[in-house]
Structure formats: C-alpha cells, structure tokens
Amino acid sequence: MDMEIVRPGDERSGSLSPAMYNFTIGLTLVWGFVINWLMVANISPEAIAQIPQLVFFIGYFACCMLGIYLFKSSDKPLVSFIGYNLVVIPFGLVINLVVSQYDPVLVYDALRVTTLVTVGMMCLGSLFPAFFQRLAPALTIALLLVIIVELVEVFIFNIHHPLLDWAVAVIFCGYIAYDWSQANSLPRTLDNAIDSAAALYMDIINLFLRILRIMGRNR
C-alpha cells in the first residue's frame, strides 16, 4: 500500500478542517467587531475629536497600512493577528465618530441591513467563485476611481454626491463576495483564516458606514 507523504510547504501541512477554518474566520471577525463595540461604548467621541486632525489622519493611515502589511506579508498567525488588530483599532475610532452622529435605532437598523447583505454576498461568493475572482480587477479600478472623484468633490467643490455612497456600497458588496470566495480557495491554515477575516472585516465595516450614511440621509 502506497503511503502519501505531506511535505513542508504542502498546502495540507498544518491545515484546518473546513468547519474549523470557517469558525476561525468567524471568530476573528467577531473579535474585531467586539473590540469596536467596546471602543464605541467606552471612548467618548469628544475625546477623539480633540485629537488634531492632521495627527489623527496620519496616525490612522500609518496604523492601517502597517496592519495591512503585517497580515498580508506574514505567514505567522500571531503576526497576522497583531496586524489585524492594528487595523481594527483605528477603524474603531472612525466608527465611534460616525455612529455618534446618528440615532441608535438607525445604527442598529444599518447593522441589521449590513449583516443581511454580507450573508447574501458570501452565499453568492460561494455559488459563483469564478465570476467574483474575475471581477476583482474591475472592483479595484472602480474603487480607486470613486475615491478620486469623492476627494475632488469634497476638497475642491465642497460637496458630496449621494450616488457615491451607493457606488462604494455596491463595490464593497462585490469585495465581500470576492474575499469570501478567495478565502475558500486558499489552503485552510490558521494564518490564511486570519488574513481572510481581516480582508472581510474591512469590507464589512466600509459597507456598514456607507449603508448608515445612506439610511441616515433617507430618514
């Protein structure tokens, strides 16, 4: 009887079962959301607003970029988890500032809609993985274009067109499906589970913030 050898570097080496892999992604996502909830519950928006704007933005982008670099470049779960938290914390500060401007009932409604949309897009990502894999370059180009247009409108014309929120929301719906299909195409390792959760976390939070703005404007 032939014996199958699993060599170092083989994608099955150190792999998780499908159930444990998906559970780890979910648990990592929940960790990030709980950290954000604790930040919103315990940090005053006024305290965040007192940070000089330039210092806040530099710190925000530096922390996020370092976090993204760590979880994307490292194959060590602990390093990737540290990188994930370096993204979660600055995102939490922004979430705190944003949700403080809206009625709590509206925030919960936006959370519910975001959850339903996220589950739906994950299902689509599982059903049509090849389609969303091909869609990834178009999503990236579209997001960059919308960001440029949004910056021009805000800083030059001092306006914000509501259609941009819808465009960003649609783009991040696509990213959720893409990142979920990508997660399920990778070797099922602990590090890949954390990396996939980090990517999904950023998609979901960005989608939530846009849905909140859209719903707040409509009401």
Per-residue tens of pLDDT for the chain, all 219 residues: 333 333 333 444 468 999 999 999 999 999 999 999 999 999 999 999 999 999 999 999 999 999 999 999 999 999 999 999 999 999 999 999 999 999 999 999 999 999 999 999 999 999 999 999 999 999 999 999 999 999 898 888 888 888 999 999 999 999 999 999 999 999 999 999 999 999 999 999 999 999 999 999 876
DSSP state, 25?
H
Q: At what angle do helices 77-99 and 18-42 cross, to 10 degrees?
A: 40
The domain spans of the chain are: 18-218
Coil/strand/helix, residue 184: coil
DSSP state, 103?
-
What is the model's pTM? 0.91
In 77-204, at which residue ranges do the beta strands (DSSP E only) sit? none
Neighbouring CB atoms inside 10 A of 140's CB total 13
